[in-house]
Amino acid sequence: MGWDEHAAGVARLEASYAALPPTAPVRLAKRTSNLFRGRAELTTGLDVSGLGGVIEVDGDVAEVQGMCTYEHLVEATLAHGRIPLVVPQLRTITLGGAVTGLGIEATSFRSGLPHESVLEMDVLTGSGEVVTTKPGDELFDAFPNSYGSLGYATRLRIELEPVQPYVALRHVRFEDAHALAEAVELIVRSREWEGERVDGLDGVAFAPGELHLTLARWTDELGPTSDYAGQQVFYRSLQQRTTDRLTMLDYLWRWDTDWFWCSRAFGAQHPVVRRVWPRRLRRSDVYWKLVALDRRFGIGDRLDRRAGRPQGERVVQDVEVPVERLAEFLAWFDREVGMRPVWLCPLRLRDREWPGYPLTRDTTYVNVGFWGVVNVGPDAPQSPLNRAIEAKVSELGGHKSLYSEAFYAPDEFDRLYGGAELARVKAIHDPDDRLTSLYDKVVRER
C-alpha cells in the first residue's frame, strides 16, 4: 500500500461521509467485528475499502492504515524482524479499533496499551474533516476508548520493537491468587523471573487452587516448536508442561486459534471433530460467525430448554483490577459467577494517564477475561451477573472494557470513563453532533 493509494482510500472515505444524509447514523462498513454488544441495524456505512493496509515500515516505526488488521500488520512487520509493541489476541482486530476501543496482550505489563505507542494519527472527525493529531493534543488524548464517538483513525504512525524468530515459554503454577499477584509485581518491577528475562506475561486461572503464569522470552535459539493450530490446544498445554517453544507468529496467535478456550462450545476441541475441521478455519472470526448464528436463531437457548437447564446469561467481559485486589476479585467471582477458566493479563501504563480510561499511573492492574454463558434462570434477560460484576469492579478501583454489554447509569458512566472531557472534545470536532455518543453506543446500543 503506497501513499497515493492511501490518499485515494481517504478520499473515498470522505466522499462516503459527505454522501450520508445529516440524520443518518455514522458507522464503518466493516466486514468483521469483535464487539459483543448489540448494535442498531446498519443501512449505509462509510467506505473503508482502501484503508486496510500497511503503508510503510521504516526501522522501528510503521505507517499503518486505520482498518488494517493485526494479522496483516504483523505479516508486514515480521518481514523486518519487528512487531507492534502490543499485539492484541485476535487476528481481525484492527489497529484503529485497538486504539479507539483499547487492546491488551502479554507485553502490556511493560508496553501498556496499543494507543500508548502511537506517535501520530489522522482522524476523520464528525465535522467531515481529516485531522492530524499527536500526543498532547486534546483530540489525540481523548481518542482512546472513544469507540468512534470522536471519529475514525485513517492513518497511524506507531512504534515497533525488534523481536527474535522464536519464543521460549515457562508455565509457572501457583496454588493461590495471592502468590500469583506477588509474582506479577516482582516481574513487573524486575522484568525477569529467577534470573531469566521476561518479554511477555499472561496466565490462566483454571480453579481457585490452580493458577498459571506464562512467561515468554524472545529468542533466536534453534530447536523444535509446538503446533497448536493442529491437534493440540494451547490453553491445555499450560497444565501439561512447564516449558514450551513457539515461533513468534504462532505465539502471537496462540489464543486466536481456539478463541482462547471458547472453540470447545462448537466441538472444535474434540479430537475427532478437530481432525476434520480445516486448519485454515480454526480462527476467531470463524467462531464469531457461529456465535452470530446462535444469537440470530437462539440455538443455545433452545438446547438449554430441551435439556431442562435454566435460562442462560451471556457473561462476556474483560475487566481490570489492581493487582493487590486480584485475589479478592477472583474469590468473589468464584462465589457469585463460578466461571472458569479465566484469562489473566497484567497491565501497566507506560508513562501517563488517559482521560477516557483513567487507570492510575504507577499502578499494576490485572486484566481478567471471562467469556461464556451461566445458567441463571428467568432473571437472565436482566443480566444480574453482568451488573454485579460492574459494581464489584468499581468497588475494587478497577475498570471494565466496553466491547461488551454495559449497564451503567449516565452519571456513573461519565465518572468512570471521563465523560466530561469526552463531551468537551466532541463538541469541538463534531459541532453538529453527527457521531453517536459513547454512552449511546455502549450502553444504549445505538
Q: Where are the domains of the chain?
A: 3-163+422-442, 298-407
Phi, psi of 244 (to 5 degrees): -165, 165
> In angstroms, rounded to a whole number, what is the distance separating the alpha carbons of residues 312 and 295?
12
Please state at what angle helix 299-307 crosses helix 284-297, rounded to 10 degrees: 70
CATH of segment(s) 298-407: 3.30.70
Phi, psi of 410 (to 5 degrees): -55, -45
Asked if residue 355 has a cis previous peptide bond (ω within 30° of 0), the answer is no
Reading phi first (left if > 0) and then psi (alpha if -120 to 50, else beta), residue 260 is in: left
Between the CA of residue 142 and those of 363, 420, 424, what are the distances in Å? 21, 11, 10
Each residue's pLDDT expressed in tens, for the chain with a length of 446 residues: 789 999 999 999 999 989 888 878 787 766 666 676 555 555 568 888 899 999 999 999 999 999 999 999 999 999 999 999 999 999 999 999 999 999 999 999 999 999 999 999 999 999 999 999 999 999 999 999 999 999 999 999 999 999 999 999 999 999 999 999 999 999 999 999 999 999 999 999 999 999 999 999 999 999 999 999 999 999 999 999 999 999 999 999 999 999 999 999 899 999 999 999 999 999 999 988 888 787 777 777 777 778 788 889 999 999 999 999 999 999 999 999 999 999 999 999 998 999 999 899 999 999 999 999 999 999 999 999 999 999 999 999 999 999 988 999 999 999 999 999 999 999 999 999 999 999 999 998 77
Q: Which residues are paired to 367 by β-bridges? A: 320, 345
**Inter-residue contact 83 to 60 (CB < 8 Å):** no
Note whether 3-163+422-442 and 298-407 share their fold. no
CATH of segment(s) 3-163+422-442: 3.30.465.10
CA angle 91, 96, 101 (to 5 degrees): 85
